A and B are shown apart, each in its own frame.
Chain A
């Protein structure tokens, strides 16, 4: 088998990148092993998109932590509609809209909205350990927490009408991000001060790639609490509120060496 496949003697370069280099070739085509490894990564990402959120288990786990919660369905009735009609994923269904009014506007400080988004895996893997770190920090600052909303078939903006119905000053949306081939379980965090209908992405702050092999829960909570504190202090969120804790890694691109030019 092995001598049918032509290996690439530049394996040593794999230390510099996660890109799929030095895969070798069968003829000039992709050998069986990297071909099937790719297929598996894609299958995992596809499963992440179509796996339905187990809202019952999630709600029970939240209740067990002393976090009151309720379920909201978006206006997208199924996955196929959800994928083709982002507008429907941004608003609650009529039934959910009606149930939202029962909460009254009690005047909470913070609403947490957990949304399946494009990867329910991301929510099932990350949301509980993340909240275990976040909730005590919110409590320590005397921020009143609204009941946690758990949303099926939702997009980021569905947090706005939910937070308004709850009368919350600030909304934190935890949502499954579009799965990448090597990151099927990435959770995104969107924070919005004073959300209203027609709030645009420019008014939100985003923390991306929260997962075990990505941005750690500790670091994500640290960044989020900085943004929450600043939002309450300045009464705004979005492009006017920079994440000053951001690393400079992206700007440091020119700093490293380059084996090709040495």
Chain B
């Protein structure tokens, strides 16, 4: 393993290979301390960043962090690397690459051409020497547009996943949250439920119900039940009207194994969903979730820092041309991301790395009650991600997920960020909102509070 060194005032800082260098250069977070791989102090961290800035990008193509022979995610990264695309930046060091990204040379078109030439390790490396404003500025220049029944990621648009979770998957309970969300203009990325059980029968019931709602009210959107990929495959085999196949993915083969998946299973799910041809304006059919710390949590990180592991998960995601990918940034708990400061930085890193690699990034801007975080931290992250051009965020009633017991962004939150940034929902969904009398003609404000399309159903219930 080659040593990387940096000398400041005669003090030599030495790092044992790229893996150690990346871990020590990573901005402070509890998960890397828990793994015992973080910098020992403030000076060592910046010295590592200085050493990292001198490393040629090409070095990342020859020094694998996790061996090619033992990890299929490493093999995927190396085998899929586009050397032609890489040529544009092949002569640069990590430090020069940061300068290039910030410069006017890195246009939207240049960044799109470059994406297949970048590896997750390169994206993670440069992110570690970037400040928050750098992560925002560069991510904003990256555009990743995907489509199924709506088009997500267009300029000036910000979409939401309507997340109508219920502790027992009660159909009326789920539908009550669906109505609430639609009336607040939520759901253009997906109407996506975390089911209470992986039982295939119960999952099929939910898929059929969401499909029936979408058809009955002619809503241009797609549904997803966030169950294991193998359960979705089984549901497809049994004839379920399934739009998007979901799966949590991580950045190492061993972590994915702990999720009960590998690349072959993901490909099987991808091809099963494609075969249904249910998209109307596009055929991106996969929905992936990720999050820093998942590899460490599965004891499958191989000494690689959690942010680099996370970037590697995006290589897994992009292999399957996903419709949606989101980091669930604050869900995992304070042993990985301790407080609002760490959660905010991590959310922006994840969005930046994903977009740089060509992945349609969204974010579950969220926290648990044992993290040192609150609604103010979420407002900051939501606002920053909105400015950075995030494709989508979550929407739940009043920020309170009564099934998963955590807090994420609300329907109101999405309207706030759309309002202050002048952002609008996906065009197909926006047209429906106007037809349904939910949004007024200017595409932003709620026209009135009549639950127009749902009025009859609600009236029948009585007072």
Contact = CB atoms under 8 A, between A and B. Distances in A.
B168 A253 contact: yes
Interface in B157-194: 164-180, 183-184
A259 B458 contact: yes
B132 interface: no
B407 A42 contact: yes
A181 interface: yes
A253 B206 contact: yes
B251 to A, nearest CB: 21
A107 interface: no
A178 to B, nearest CB: 6
Interface in A8-62: 8-10, 12-14, 16-23, 25, 28-30, 34, 38-39, 41-42, 45-46, 48-49
Contact of A19 (B169, B396, B407, B450): B396
B178 A83 contact: no
A252 B170 CA distance: 8
B34 interface: yes
B375 A38 contact: yes
B176 A17 contact: yes
B33 A38 contact: no
Contact of B183 (A10, A39, A45, A86): A10
Interface in B206-260: 206, 209, 212-213, 216
Contact of B212 (A22, A254, A261): A261
Interface stretch (B114-122, B310-318, B322-330, B398-406): B398-406
A17 B396 CA distance: 13
A253 B370 contact: no
Interface in B120-169: 164-169
A9 B176 contact: no
A192 interface: no
B374 A30 contact: no
B202 A16 contact: no
Interface residues of A, number: 55
Interface in A112-155: 118
Given A30-B412, A84-B335, A21 B180 contact: yes
A4 interface: no
A155 to B, nearest CB: 11
A32 to B, nearest CB: 13
Given A8-B180, A16-B175, A23 B169 contact: no
A23 B212 CA distance: 26
A180 interface: yes
Nearest to B213: A260
Give the interface centre of B34, B369, B416, B446 by most chain A CB atoms within 10 Å: B369
A140 B460 CA distance: 54
Contacts of A262: 457, 460
Give the interface centre of B196, B201, B397 by most chain A CB atoms within 10 Å: B397
Contact of A34 (B205, B209, B370, B398): B398
A16 B407 contact: no
17 contacts: A9-B458, A10-B180, A12-B462, A12-B463, A16-B170, A17-B166, A17-B176, A25-B412, A41-B400, A83-B338, A178-B369, A182-B402, A253-B205, A258-B175, A258-B209, A260-B454, A261-B209
Given A16-B176, A251-B201, A261-B213, 19 more contacts: A7-B449, A9-B450, A10-B183, A12-B461, A12-B462, A19-B165, A19-B173, A20-B398, A22-B180, A49-B369, A83-B334, A180-B405, A182-B402, A253-B169, A256-B170, A256-B171, A257-B172, A259-B460, A259-B461
Interface of A: 6-10, 12-14, 16-23, 25, 28-30, 34, 38-39, 41-42, 45-46, 48-49, 83-87, 118, 178-184, 249-254, 256-262
**Nearest 5 Cβ contacts at the A-B interface:** A20-B398, A253-B169, A254-B205, A180-B405, A28-B415
